[in-house]
Structure 1
Amino acid sequence: MDALILQLLHHSWLPAGSFLAGVLNSIAGGGSFLSLPALFASAAGAGAVAIQATNTVALWPGQLTGLVAFRKELREYKRELLPLGIAAGLGGWVGGQLLLRTKNHMFLKLLPWLLLFAAVMFVLSFPLGRWMKTLNGGERHTKLLMIGMVLVSVYVGYFGAGGGFLVMALFGVCGVHDIHEMNALKVLTAAVSIGIPAISFIAAGRVQWYFCFEMAILAALGGFIGAHYSRLINQALMRRTVAAIGFMTSAYFFMQNYAMHPVR
């Protein structure tokens, strides 16, 4: 009986993680904190870079469905949408190419540090945004936003987890402070900065399609539902929850690395 329960939990981890990842990505970011460890558990023999590439492709539809739900908020930024999209696409492409050139063992070593960085940035992003708001008086700095978007999108294309937090901090620095508009612009730029490298990963044959289709459908559903109900969710509680998940996921991969390469 216990073995059956464990087997059911193992098989339900990936679909549940994918759906919740879509929800988190459309609300606050951090979906990969859930989907990535679930995918590592389900596709352990695929190679770390292929797993990361699969996770990127699978979560992309969730960004697109979230984009549909946020279309009203995006109307306030018609002039900035194309330049923002180009900046996000350029950075995302560079990040994707860097991932394809990374060895599996190197990515495994980097993984817990990348997750820890993402979790720390999530904790710091909103205080940083509020502090910068007092410095710039709410003035919007479009040129700084475009340059920053290229740099942040390199990270998004390479790893993705925590990229939404960096984008939110960037918006705060550059004078965008309405939480719903920030979420809408975050989903828009993520759709591009994730979509461009996703195409590169598909072309390079690094996607594990057996897992990707299931994840993509559930992440898209979660993304739409999360974006639709984001206005009803307690943002402070959601931020604390995502931060806790991020630190726990980072700790999990640190322990995995230690188990494989113990310090002697």
Structure 2
Amino acid sequence: MDVLTIAFLFVAGLLAGAINAIAGGGTFLTFGAYTLAGLPPISASASSAVSQFPGYVTSTLAYWSDLKKIWRSALVLALVSMFGAAAGAFILVSLDNAQFRVLVPWLLLAATAVFAAGPYLKPAPRPQDATPSSGADWKSPVVQFFTAIYGGFFQAGMGIIMLATLGLTVRGEYHRLNSIKNLLSNVISLVAILVFVSGGIVAWTYALSAMPGVALGGYGGVWIAKRVPQAYVRALVVVIGLLLSAYYFISM
């Protein structure tokens, strides 16, 4: 891999980290950058999961004070997420690139649609504690299991989907739900990465080229978030998602 490719992936990671900090959706950039750099789609998806992981960790640490109060209620969801993520990651590893390539434009299009609808899917703030709602304890783990399967298979749009499903099945105000979402994103990502590494599908040089950019972009994104309207960044991510979807539809 030449210096220009490394620089390209670093910049893509930088932008992805900033976009994640402002509005989410940075996975679209890293996945797209890896495919443009020549990685096959399965390796691009796995490498993107690796490069995005530091951002999940830092976002969870930012909510640490909230998580300390609700970790017991999140534990069951975390355990369920482990099994779901493993299932989704193993499904990805079992496919070949030709099979996955057929799915990619549809996955990107669906993730883009979910991302565009994100502001309408966010749960309304409620004053109750962030614990499973009474009489529906079974719903939250079941729904989370299927969400984790998607996250283990293809992470684009995972956070928006998870926040929406948690809002339907778990009590709590927005920031507490978001803290649970960030924790579960770590679990799903870590399990998926372990499966991807064992399957030998991570392109480490590519992933490590983008990872410092993701970390720096996430830090700088907080500063940008205070000055750039989130709607503009969200529109940019939607355009990127649509362009990537069109690219894969045309190249199928």
Q: TM-score range by the shorter chain?
A: 0.7 to 0.9
Residue 168 of structure 1, aligned match among 163, 170, 174: 163
What residue number does 1:118 align with? 111
Report if aligned partners of 2:11, 2:210 keep a CA contact under 8 Å in 1. no
Q: 1:152 Cα deviation (Å)?
A: 0.5
User: Which has the higher mean CA deviation after the structures are superposed, 166-175 or 98-107?
Assistant: 166-175
In structure 2, what is the equivalent of residue 262 of structure 1? none
**Taking structure 1 as reference, are residues 54 and 65 closer, same or farther at Cα in structure 2, changes over 3 Å only?**
same
2:205 matched to 1:210? yes
Q: CA deviation at 1:209?
A: 1.3
SS of structure 1 residue aligned to 2:200: coil
Matches within 5 A, 1:65-214: 65-129=58-122, 140=133, 142-176=137-171, 178-214=173-209
The total of aligned residue pairs comes to: 244
Amino acid at match of 1:195: L
Percent sequence identity over aligned pairs? 29
The two structures, once aligned, show a CA RMSD in angstroms of: 2.9
| 1:135-176 C-alpha deviation (Å, 9 max, x unpaired) | xxxx84553222211110101100111111111211221245
Does the alignment pair 1:63 with 2:42?
no
* Cα drift, residue 26 of structure 1: 4.5
**2:11 is the alignment partner of 1:40:** no
Compared CA separation, residues 192 and 226, structure 1 to 2 (3 A): farther
Query: Is this contact kept in 2: 1:21–1:34, CA < 8 A?
Result: yes
Q: Does 1:24 align with 2:46?
A: no
TM-score by length of 1: 0.79
Alpha-carbon offset, residue 112 of structure 1: 0.9
- Equivalent residue for 2:46? 53
Distance 1:9 1:241 in 2: 24
Q: Give the whole-Å Cα distance in 2 for the aligned partners of 1:232 and 1:182.
A: 25
Q: CA deviation at 1:254?
A: 2.1
Output the CA distance in 1 between the equivalents of 2:233 and 2:175: 14
Matched, 1:219 2:207: no
Distance 1:194 1:14 in 2: 20
Code of the residue aligned with 1:217 in structure 2: it is: P
Counterpart AA for 1:88:
S
Structure 1: tracts of 5 or more residues without a match: 1-6, 134-138, 258-264
Tell whether the 8 Å contact from 2:6 to 2:206 is kept in structure 1 after alignment. Answer: no
TM-superposed CA distance for 1:105, in Å, is 0.7
| One-letter amino acid of the counterpart of residue 25, structure 2 | G
SS in 1 for 2:156: coil
Q: 1:121 offset after TM fit, Å?
A: 1.4
Task: Report Cα offsets for 1:200-232 as digits up to 9, x if no partner.
Answer: 111222111111112222223333444687677
**Residue type of the alignment partner of 1:182:** L
Change (3 A) 1:183 1:203: same
Q: CA offset at residue 76 of structure 1?
A: 4.1
Question: Any gaps of 5 or more consecutive residues in structure 2?
Answer: 127-131
Distance in 1 of aligned mates of 2:194 and 2:180: 21
Q: Partners in 2 of 1:255 and 1:50 — Cα distance?
A: 20
The DSSP-based 3-state class of the residue aligned with 1:145 is helix
> Cα distance, 1:245 vs. partner?
2.8
Cα distance 1:68–1:128, how it changes in 2: closer, same or farther (>3 A)? closer
